[in-house]
Amino acid sequence: MPRIGVLTSGGDAPGMNAAIRATVRCGTDAGFTMLGIARGYAGLIEGDVLPLDNRAVGGIIERGGTMLRSARSPEFMESSGQQRALATLQQHSIDGLIVIGGNGSLRGAQWLNEQGVPTVGMPASIDNDIPGSRMAIGVDSALNTVVDCLNRLRDTAVAHERAFVVEVMGRKSGYIALMGGLAGGAEIILLPEHPVSLDRVADIVKRGLDLGKRHSIIVVAEGFSPKGSTMASVSPARAIATRLSELGLVETRLTILGHLQRGGSPTAFDRILASRFGRASVSAFLENDPAVMLSYDGCGIVPRPFSTLDAPCENVDQAILDLADTVAH
C-alpha cells in the first residue's frame, strides 16, 4: 500500500482545502495511505507529518486557506535543510509526494523529483503566473474578491467625484489586475508587462475628465513599474496617487487590497478545479507517471514536465488589455 504525502506551500490560495480533500479521498479510494505534511517544506524538514483519512478532510471544501497550513522555508533552499527533508521522507516511509503551491513550491517539487522522490506538482497561485497552466487554484476566488471591492469603491468614487488608485497583488504577473480591472470596469489598468509613464496615466485621467467622466478607477498590479519614474522608494500605486494629487486634476485616494485577496471561501470554479487537480494527482501515481506538474489547458487537466517552469508565463493577453482600454471610456 503506497504511502503518499501531501503538502501546501508558499502563499495560501482559496481552493487549497478542496484540493487536499479530493487528493486524500481519491488516494484512499485507490488504496493509498495518505499523509499530510504541515507547514509546507518547513514541516517536511521538521518531520511534522500526520495521517489523513476521509474523515480528516471532511467539511473543508468551503474553507479558504489550508488545513495543512503553509510557511516560507528559506532553509529548504540550503543543503542542510534539503537533506533533513529527504530524511523525513525516509523516516516515515513516504513513497511519493504531492505539492500544492506556486512557482517556488513547484521548483521544490522539481528538486525532490530530481533526487529520486516521485513528486507531482499542483498549481495554486492567485497571481496565475505559473507557466504552462492557463488557470491555477485560487485565481477565480481572488478575482471575485477584487471585483467586489472595485464595485464598492466605485460607489464612493462616483458620489465624491474622486479617482481611486487600487493596488492588487501581482509582482511579476498582471493577470489579477487585468481581469479584475476589466470585470470591475476600471478606467486604467497598469501591469508589470506593459509599463507606462506617470505622465501618460495623468493624460488618460485628463482625457476622461474632458469627456465628462468625473471619477476614475485605476487598478495597479503591485509589480508595475512606471516608465521614467524617479520615486524609487515609493510604491507605484502611491506614486500614481501622489502625481494625480499634485496635478490637481481630481481628488485622489489610494486603496491597497493586500491580503484581502487571499482569504474567503473559494468560488465554485475553484472548488471544482481543485477537485479535478486532486484526482489527476492521484492518477499520476496510478499511471506510474509521478514526475509531472499538472496544468489546466482551458478544457482539462494535463501533465507537463517540470521543465515547463523555465518557460515564460503567457497568461496576460494583450488583446484583453486592448479590450479593457476600448471599453473604459
Residue 213: pLDDT band with limits 50, 70, 90: confident
* 148 carries an active-site annotation: no
Average pLDDT of 120-146? 97
Structure confidence at residue 1 (pLDDT): 82
Set of cell numbers at residue 283 = 492518477
Structure confidence at residue 232 (pLDDT): 61
Structure confidence at residue 329 (pLDDT): 79
Question: Which residue's C-alpha cell is 529520486?
Answer: 116
The Cα–Cα gap between 264 and 140 comes to 12
On the question of pLDDT at 233 being above 70, the answer is: no
Short-list 130, 138, 114, CA closest to 261 = 138
**What pTM, to 2 d.p., does this model score?**
0.95
Structural domains in the chain? 3-138+266-310 (3.40.50.450), 140-262 (3.40.50.460)
Residue of 12, 29, 95, 127 marked active site: 127
Residue 302 neighbours by CB distance under 10 Å: 15
Average pLDDT of 249-254? 94
In DSSP notation, 153-169 reads: HHHHHHHHTEEEEEEES
Average pLDDT of 3-32? 97
Comparing 40-49, 132-141, 233-242, the range with the smallest average pLDDT is: 233-242
On the question of pLDDT at 230 being above 80, the answer is: no
Does residue 131 contact residue 294 with C-beta atoms inside 8 Å?
no
Residue 94: pLDDT band with limits 50, 70, 90: very high
pLDDT digits (tens, 9 = 90+) for 257-289: 999 999 999 999 999 999 999 999 999 999 987
Structure confidence at residue 72 (pLDDT): 86
Residue 231: pLDDT band with limits 50, 70, 90: low
**Count of alpha carbons within 13 Å of 139, Cβ hemisphere only?**
25
Residue 290: pLDDT band with limits 50, 70, 90: confident
pLDDT digits (tens, 9 = 90+) for 30-81: 999 999 999 999 999 999 999 999 999 999 999 999 999 998 899 999 999 9
Structure confidence at residue 266 (pLDDT): 98
H/E element holding 18? Answer: helix 16-29
Set of cell numbers at residue 6 = 501531501
